[in-house]
Structure 1
């Protein structure tokens, strides 16, 4: 079988239950196999590991590493004092040591082996017999090389002397009484400023570099952990020369030898002690001077893939790094070191560490809000992504975040979704995403996921910039042939930004709620400079691989841009608050002198220091004095981005589309367009206010319908009973009606094949639906409202009478099934009948079997329905909580809480609003019409609303026809999907598939059923040719609207109870089935009654073929849907397997017929639409609301 992959993506707000991790007492981190591990001491004194985890709800988990210690010391007070971690750069193994205070005594524990999530700790008791008092363990230091650990502890005695001592912890010793080896401090250190583990030249073991004070003078001394040749003797120390302004040191281990270069920082300078020159009184080499190096707070360093990285956090909260790729002998030359690359500002603490496997850097940091951010460097572009640590939220609202959302649908060759299909995903760069609500972290190592029951794989990637991850998606068919697509979510947003290539376009750009993109006060000349640059960025993006991969060498060889307006060169000049641009020949004569000289001397763009995209763009973002030039130049078959600041030049070759996206974002920042403004501009925004108003109007209509119905139910009961005989007499006349269209001649099988929906759904269409299906099974009423759902005595009594009457209708249903079987389905020519013949036969059979006996239940139904409609509406209006979705609705509409009725009205309101705005370019309700409509108390007041609009009636007719067609085609499409989903429900009911696997199909059926019945009802009312003032017609129409909502509510309640483990409650099931059966039968009678009513009113008058045909076909399609519902109920009571099969066959035929008729009605309605109608003045939406008092 062949498969089809369809995808859509959008930049949109996403929601998830999250708890953001915040700062704790002491924090350090490392990266293992691409996953980040954060170690910390919590406010509760426990030692925690917060670790990144794939295939997880949120992506992070937090565990107590002290659990083993706590269990080993029951009923004791335990608090973590300090810890040390170490990772071996050669094999990525990492180890832990921790000091815990147990009942006021400090104890040292080390991990038995490399750290796992529940480590087995080994206590190393203090064993120096020369010290008899208790000790305080103040600091721990640890390093590892070739799987050997070196641990050093600083202690003070708790006696009066408060002696400061240092020990090497020999955990490998077999002598349990001699593990704490005194590590004498060289000289009498009165104070230790900082220490760093490392290994000096030609030393056999690791040791420790220490800055301390001796006699008030700072000293820098290196001492090995122990004397390798004779552990009983003190090791030899090395004293290094030290600038008095230096307070911080950090060592980098040289990968090939294990020796460490030492860096020191302070007094506006960074120094290096190369490992080969670490001898007595050796002086450091100054490699960088910068005012940001004063008042240092932290210093970190490491080597990753031959690149030496030194990170600095200063007291101002600025985080920088510098780097060098030079060999060891050239590291002392300042020219081989980069400038300080700015990364973050306004932070309180940061910790940088290497991702050894991926060859990049990571950091974690937190600012004054204490929320922890994890920074990850791209291996391709060196662009940084910032990710918050998301822990599972136990309570509180869900969290909203901007995201790229991608929906991938797997379908078979018939466009039917394929569930549980294996999908293989890779990414062009390391990324963190939610796939079907689970967190995954991956790159080019493939991961496998499975489509859900809708054939869907949904990818949500949290965004902190406009740059997205890019994916390749692959599936294999049954012949093991692979089908693959590339997904680049950012392309649409890049096109949107680069299309703003004129001043007018850029100044006129607004987001979805009307806010301008470019802030007020930005000068037109500045806007012009940025707008003019968009064309060269667009050409740059077009020339690069669209799948996000890096351009292969020589790909652009022979390409030139001499025929373009920019000729492959563009200059942006920034001087304070002035931004100017030069393109083509004008750019050539305005090149920065430094760059021009470099081009002349070296024949192209050449740097002594190789920078990358992320580093250069960070320079632009953080330049304190805004005086610089940007040159975009296509030279040597490569796009180059060059930044010149004074006499310094920084450049990189643009080789992937992600870098173009980042450059565009950086250029927009030059005119004060922040990332938030860009997000708001490229983000898809629903017309929430308009949708909310339509929802409110629909909800109001339901309440008014119930009130109107109850006021007139007794009167209409008599009139309807009198009209039953007339209806039966008109059956044969109705069956002879004809509709003169080509559609009526089509075979039903042909229609089914012709109108199968071809288009896939997209992110915005399915936005709320996705969240509803993912979370509705956990829905529940608010706790304090659950007790209000008991049935009162009057309702119980009315229901009992109605049940007795309904039981007598079993024979009617049996007769209906037999008649359908004998007179229609057994007919060998059934599938050859034309469309209208099928409808004639169905109408005649149903009317014969149901109308003549409806008096049996009508009186009882009248009394019960009066109570049920009021009581049921109260229940439907009760607040309901659906995880995540309720938070979205509250955030969007500002209304809390939401009820079942809100949701039922909301879902079709979204489609209604979009369709109306698309056709009219107007909002459905302005402030005045909305306020007036929401203030009405009866149907009579609707006439006041009608007076708001004076548009021509022809215009109303035309727009009604457009909406009529769209509604019915959509109803038919979702009906087809619903039929398939309901089939899966039956398979689960019969035990053919596991019930738990049926979860999503139940959800889909529910959501589609709600949409289907509401849209079906609205579609009928929109283009109803009956214009009558009579109570009978108004009540009949009101009942029709009420019943579609009631049936939706019953379905919602039925499925909710299934997931609340009440699915086997036979009493509840009987209640659902009886109410639904009665609602269906009454609705069917109402629809047939409308047809008869129309014919009676038109006796002796000219009949509008279009109106009659559409009305009759509409009602017949609803009757098909009602038969399908009766078959659903009958299935529950059937015992014989063959009878069940027959009932299901009837249900499927009616369902297929219904869907086909709906689509056909939409298509049929299209032929009467005037193609010029869109140019006319359209009516306000209030004139499309069903008016029951017309």
Structure 2
């Protein structure tokens, strides 16, 4: 087996809908690190939205609270407050939920839920916690709930507190607090507050102090503007009947928020963190007694003139046991979201903490966790004006990525659109492979350089470096891999045929880098035009006018060249440069020393200015002092802030307008990116490929070449005007062919009889066909597919990908064709005819499989002809001819309404919506299959011929408007060039047609869904497009007439198989259908054999065309294995289906090669 692969930066879509914003949310994770997003929706329902691998959208939203209605007399239940906790040892999840029913609040808990529940759709088991804490306030009004599961050496300790309004309706809204006893009675126990707190002001954290022996609750809040904070154990461990003694904790001026987390020890003790304008303060476990003062562990940086920790409105802390790291995330009053971290155990050391900078702005709420398997941050944020997004930081490169939470769609028109790196990976059989190794039955194992969420063949997976994920290609041997992106940064994949086999490295950025490498001077940039306009059919210069001057172009070109040089020294798989390699002595690094060690760019109103060497060093020296073997080590006046590249990139993204210059300096074997923002020097190491592309984005952004422009240049955009013209030409040709098809059936019997005249002479002629001296095996011809420009590109399979995956969700008014009544006797006769010859036929087919099909990759087309004719000539002349002629009468009657079916509208996810947007029209069944064919036909033809196949003009317009097959034939006969373009595009179409037909045919066989049947039959038109193109050819010869007859019979039978009443008739499906399919396909090879025998001095393209016809015919001949009378075992039948699918895919590839050779006149 071998792989072929191509990746593109392009717009893609998903049939899904984005999760709407919720009122409140928290997150946990499963043992495998997948997300569990708990929330109260705007509909007052408590949900869990779980990340689900091997699913279509990747997320599932489950209602957890509505079932409680049955416990309250069927009344409406409104979720009000919730909290969650997780056992760090078992990962079990505990939930506490306050609900409101008729104006009164109630409490329910659910404990010990396994995190990796396969299916949460049945919800969780709730236990009611009715009030039994004495005189209840009226109405009972719960203001908050708190839950904590503390891991200790003796086991987990579950703590739950509930706050209620002391006097509902009173203006101060003072609260009373209770703790819950899950095991005893009463369950509600008053937890006396030493000071009064207002419900709207209290901020609470749970934890444990040394010596308390029980968990405690930290409370910060105010009454009448007086702020106070206390720590109080849940109970008095020594005197349970006596109220516990609180500790009053001193707070810094301006305190707004607190958070706690484990100190990392097995004791279960917690650090308490306090956010105030002065910075981040901490109460260590041994500093939480009465009147304790906090320690300032991180002074607050100033951003936009405001201390970063001032006005913090939310703070969350976590300890990552895998990396022994303590992490805090904060949101301040300006909506800035930032984090700080330090090694666990060094929280009291100021120098141990990272420097916080705002990463995201306009954040309204957030929640996060640290992935249990790979120790990276998974953050959920509600950003102003946007949906909730999942943000993850690559644990390898530190680059941040963003994605929406895509839920299963509620209607066919729901579409999520996003930029992506889309990869087409095709698994192909080689001549040396064992005949029993089948593409469709082969596992491929995927890993990635870093953890990444992707879709493979429409299913959601999270890849990682360490665990190979097995999956199989679709029936056509293809994988479509989609990685959402909002930048040029991409995670690389690896594909293997065994879990530990040699990997194929898949770099989604490969084509983008190839384009960048073509920039060697400013003149190269001056020539670049990018698509623009409504349908991307116009162009504009890449550089805006105010930056399109020689100095800016030269500066950009030099910067691109330098950054690509830096990239060449970094790991090619996208991983981070080994820090040890940067510590070698300069002599040991001489081979990696760049030509220019220091260079920079200055940004001004006229564009860019590039500097390097001494000039750059002087400019940089004004900012920093020299030390080490490079320039940038420490600032002369103020220390530089060193950030991870990913953090630096997010921080600077919104500050580029204030960036006046930037420098790159080669220091100690690594490149450092240095810039000044707001009087502060920042630096980050370019230690991976994604950091290099991030620097490229910065530079282009500064000259107003934005991400969308980079996609238009480095990626791909569909030129819909060109594609729609091809689609409309194809549609009219298919339409006129379909109208003529029933008439063709009337003369088909005569055409067949005509071909079988002098049959013995033909057999003798074919047996003596010479192989040319330079003959090639069929596998060699097929391998030329990889050299056809664009053939492996994912944009070519965009339409087919969405048809394969959207067919089952499609909506159409299709109905059955024709009426099968009155065919009983004919069907019985055909059944008897086929079954009476079953032994002869199956013996012939099995011999064809053994002597031809199993060796087909190593045989030349002529060798295949000789073997096939030697095995099946008698069968063709006898039962095959008779069965096919008899089937014609059934096909003629049923096919009368075929055009109504092709004109029926269809709503298919994604494609219908985009087609309406592009054309303003609704999509018909024929529109759909022609669009799917037109996309690769247009793209590949343009790549081969360097022009669009059907440009605007009278010739194209005439083809679109021709009203009969006769007028089309006349028009094409008068213009050989246009005829060639029709033949070439129709042969290219067979490439995608074969893939779509094979997949839909298998789906239809398994499900028998009417709309899929209609799509499968309609896609067969594209599958046999090369034969249909031949129907427009002149002159009219016996071979062409026979080919036209067999094409009409094959197309008609495809519709009868899928959308006629016969598809549910056992006489047809178990005998006549598969038997006649074998006969039709064997006879259909005859025109191709006759053509090669009659050609004087055939070209290479003629042999490829013969090979394509033979592959298709041989694939169809295996249908005989479906006959019930043969009682073929399941495994044998499956092998036959997979082999047939492989031959059909080979036919598509060979048709493509034939089309490309025609363009090249070979």
1:435 is the counterpart of 2:446: no
1:549 is the counterpart of 2:565: no
Given that 1:973 and 1:1155 are in contact with CA atoms closer than 8 Å, whether structure 2 keeps it comes out as no
Match of 2:164 in 1: 155
Match of 2:622 in 1: 593
For 1:72 and 1:600, the matched residues in 2 are separated by 73
1:64 is the counterpart of 2:63: yes
1:87-486, aligned counterparts within 5 Å? 87=86, 94-113=93-112, 116=115, 117=120, 118-129=123-134, 131=136, 133-146=138-151, 147-157=156-166, 164-171=174-181, 175-177=184-186, 179-186=188-195, 192-199=201-208, 204-214=213-223, 216-242=225-251, 245-256=254-265, 260-265=270-275, 269-275=278-284, 280=291, 282=293, 285=296, 287-290=299-302, 291-292=305-306, 293=308, 296-304=312-320, 305=323, 307-323=325-341, 328=346, 330-331=348-349, 333=350, 339-355=355-371, 357-369=373-385, 371-397=387-413, 398-406=415-423, 407=425, 409=427, 411=429, 414=432, 417-452=438-473, 453-454=475-476, 456-476=478-498, 482-486=501-505
Given that 1:211 and 1:218 are in contact with CA atoms closer than 8 Å, whether structure 2 keeps it comes out as yes
For 2:1150 and 2:215, the matched residues in 1 are separated by 78
1:1013 pairs, out of 1024, 1028, 1034, with 1024
| Secondary structure, aligned partner of 1:113 | strand
Segment of structure 1 superposing worse, 510-519 or 139-148:
510-519
1:920 pairs, out of 918, 932, 945, with 945
For 2:735 and 2:384, the matched residues in 1 are separated by 50
Q: 1:608 to 1:1128 in 2, by over 3 A?
A: closer
Given that 1:8 and 1:408 are in contact with CA atoms closer than 8 Å, whether structure 2 keeps it comes out as no
Given that 1:48 and 1:65 are in contact with CA atoms closer than 8 Å, whether structure 2 keeps it comes out as yes
1:30 is the counterpart of 2:28: yes
1:503 is the counterpart of 2:522: yes
For 2:216 and 2:1118, the matched residues in 1 are separated by 82
Residues 505-525 of structure 1 show CA distances to partners (whole Å, capped at 9, x for unaligned) of 334434454454444443534
Match of 1:677 in 2: 709
Given that 1:422 and 1:448 are in contact with CA atoms closer than 8 Å, whether structure 2 keeps it comes out as no
Segment of structure 1 superposing worse, 756-765 or 577-586:
756-765
Given that 2:175 and 2:199 are in contact with CA atoms closer than 8 Å, whether structure 1 keeps it comes out as no
1:79 is the counterpart of 2:105: no
For 1:315 and 1:892, the matched residues in 2 are separated by 44
| Secondary structure, aligned partner of 1:917 | helix
Match of 2:644 in 1: 612
Given that 2:1104 and 2:1153 are in contact with CA atoms closer than 8 Å, whether structure 1 keeps it comes out as no
Shift of 1:59: 1.9
1:18 pairs, out of 16, 19, 44, with 16
Given that 2:92 and 2:113 are in contact with CA atoms closer than 8 Å, whether structure 1 keeps it comes out as yes
Given that 1:572 and 1:582 are in contact with CA atoms closer than 8 Å, whether structure 2 keeps it comes out as yes
Q: 1:187 to 1:937 in 2, by over 3 A?
A: closer
Residues 5-63 of structure 1 show CA distances to partners (whole Å, capped at 9, x for unaligned) of 55443334443321211112222223444222221112333321112232333222222
2:596 pairs, out of 548, 567, 574, with 567
Shift of 1:835: 7.9
Shift of 1:78: 2.5
Matched residue pairs, number?
1102
Segment of structure 1 superposing worse, 697-706 or 1158-1167:
1158-1167
For 2:767 and 2:271, the matched residues in 1 are separated by 91
Match of 2:611 in 1: 582
Structure 2 gaps of 5+ residues are none
Segment of structure 1 superposing worse, 345-354 or 840-849:
840-849
Residues 801-825 of structure 1 show CA distances to partners (whole Å, capped at 9, x for unaligned) of 998998999899999989999x999
| Secondary structure, aligned partner of 1:127 | coil
Match of 2:54 in 1: 55
Match of 1:699 in 2: 731
| Secondary structure, aligned partner of 2:562 | helix
Residues 1118-1154 of structure 1 show CA distances to partners (whole Å, capped at 9, x for unaligned) of 699779868857984976999xx9xx99x999x9999
Given that 1:218 and 1:244 are in contact with CA atoms closer than 8 Å, whether structure 2 keeps it comes out as no
Q: 1:696 to 1:520 in 2, by over 3 A?
A: same
Given that 2:865 and 2:1089 are in contact with CA atoms closer than 8 Å, whether structure 1 keeps it comes out as no
Shift of 1:617: 1.6
For 1:1157 and 1:236, the matched residues in 2 are separated by 81
1:764 is the counterpart of 2:794: yes
1:539 pairs, out of 536, 540, 565, with 565
Shift of 1:176: 0.5
Given that 1:773 and 1:1003 are in contact with CA atoms closer than 8 Å, whether structure 2 keeps it comes out as no
Given that 1:1077 and 1:1125 are in contact with CA atoms closer than 8 Å, whether structure 2 keeps it comes out as yes
Shift of 1:200: 5.9
Given that 2:27 and 2:35 are in contact with CA atoms closer than 8 Å, whether structure 1 keeps it comes out as yes
| Secondary structure, aligned partner of 2:716 | coil
| Secondary structure, aligned partner of 1:109 | strand
Given that 1:529 and 1:581 are in contact with CA atoms closer than 8 Å, whether structure 2 keeps it comes out as yes
Given that 1:197 and 1:208 are in contact with CA atoms closer than 8 Å, whether structure 2 keeps it comes out as yes
Match of 1:489 in 2: 508
Given that 1:336 and 1:609 are in contact with CA atoms closer than 8 Å, whether structure 2 keeps it comes out as no
For 1:875 and 1:265, the matched residues in 2 are separated by 68
Shift of 1:968: 7.7
Given that 1:890 and 1:897 are in contact with CA atoms closer than 8 Å, whether structure 2 keeps it comes out as yes
1:892-1041, aligned counterparts within 5 Å? 895-899=921-925, 901-906=926-931, 908-929=933-954, 930-938=956-964, 956=977, 960=980, 1011-1018=1022-1029, 1020=1030, 1027=1035, 1033=1036, 1041=1044
Shift of 1:155: 1.4
TM-score by length of 2: 0.78
1:633 pairs, out of 645, 648, 665, with 665
Q: 1:4 to 1:1004 in 2, by over 3 A?
A: farther
Residues 865-892 of structure 1 show CA distances to partners (whole Å, capped at 9, x for unaligned) of 8876652222233234555665666667
Given that 1:274 and 1:328 are in contact with CA atoms closer than 8 Å, whether structure 2 keeps it comes out as no
Match of 1:1187 in 2: none
For 1:528 and 1:152, the matched residues in 2 are separated by 66
Q: 1:324 to 1:965 in 2, by over 3 A?
A: closer
Query: How well do the aligned residues superpose, as a CA RMSD in angstroms?
Result: 5.8
Shift of 1:626: 0.9
Structure 1 gaps of 5+ residues are 1028-1032, 1096-1103, 1172-1190
For 1:1120 and 1:321, the matched residues in 2 are separated by 60
Match of 1:530 in 2: 556
Residues 329-377 of structure 1 show CA distances to partners (whole Å, capped at 9, x for unaligned) of 754x5x7655542222234333344445533333212234452101111
TM-score by length of 1: 0.77
Q: 1:835 to 1:972 in 2, by over 3 A?
A: farther
Q: 1:45 to 1:360 in 2, by over 3 A?
A: same
| Secondary structure, aligned partner of 2:201 | strand
1:643 pairs, out of 639, 654, 675, with 675
For 2:1144 and 2:312, the matched residues in 1 are separated by 77
Given that 2:50 and 2:60 are in contact with CA atoms closer than 8 Å, whether structure 1 keeps it comes out as yes
Match of 1:1047 in 2: 1050
For 1:51 and 1:553, the matched residues in 2 are separated by 37
Given that 2:658 and 2:677 are in contact with CA atoms closer than 8 Å, whether structure 1 keeps it comes out as no
Shift of 1:547: 1.7
Given that 1:183 and 1:226 are in contact with CA atoms closer than 8 Å, whether structure 2 keeps it comes out as no
For 2:630 and 2:774, the matched residues in 1 are separated by 79
Shift of 1:560: 5.7
Shift of 1:82: 0.7
Q: 1:559 to 1:499 in 2, by over 3 A?
A: farther
For 1:121 and 1:825, the matched residues in 2 are separated by 61
For 2:1149 and 2:318, the matched residues in 1 are separated by 67
